[in-house]
Amino acid sequence: MRKQGVIGKESRLRLLEAAAEEFALNGFYQTKISSIVARAGVTQPAFYLYFESKEAAFAELVDGFRTGLSQVVRNSHIQPGKNRDDLKEAVVESLGQIYRYLGENPALTRIGLYQSAESVRIKAEIAGLMEQNLIAEQQAGYYRHDLDTVFFAECLLAIVERLTLIKLLPGNETPSQLARITQDLFFYGILDTQHRD
């Protein structure tokens, strides 16, 4: 009995992984249950042992992505007590955690951040979590007191979202590279410091 439970969990996990790949590759409407089960190496009746429908599998994947990304963003909060040099590296590490999660879960990222009808809600939730982090970090004295944290959180999310699509998922940049580039942009801007008035 125990062995069947383990096999059942493995089959369900294979189905979810296969579904994520198929949805990411073909989109929700073009993905067929037959292609999911073929990729997973199970029968079509096995799919219905674990999922009521294609919609149910998709919803579970989207919710798993939302939960995972939300936790990563919560965990990326920078604790008080950093000096300026430590803060720069802490911001790189914080952003790196987010980019790593997105890069390590490319199919889920494509589904949850770009394809799903829930993506708008997910992005609003993530922006809200980023704002909470920024407020706490602002109160710790890391950022300007007049920083508009709502605006900055939306800008940060937009940069992460776009760079994930055009740089991270195609493999053009690593999570660490993107984290450093993003940190550099926000800490130093785009002006040449030698030519400022």
**pLDDT per residue over 29-52, tens digit each?**
999 999 999 999 999 999 999 999
**pLDDT higher than 70, residue 58:** yes
* Architecture of the domain spanning 1-51: Orthogonal Bundle (1.10)
pTM above 0.95, yes or no: no
**pLDDT per residue over 87-97, tens digit each?**
999 999 999 99
User: Hey, which CATH number is domain 55-189, 3.40.50.1010, 1.10.10.10, 1.10.357.10, 2.60.120.10?
Assistant: 1.10.357.10
Give the start-to-end residue ranges of the domains of the chain: 1-51, 55-189
Please, where are the H alpha helices in the chain?
Answer: 2-26, 33-40, 44-50, 54-75, 84-104, 106-109, 119-139, 149-163, 175-188
Mean pLDDT of 126-138: 98
How many CA atoms lie within 13 Å of 74's alpha carbon, on the beta-carbon side?
A: 7
Cβ count near 161 (within 10 Å):
18
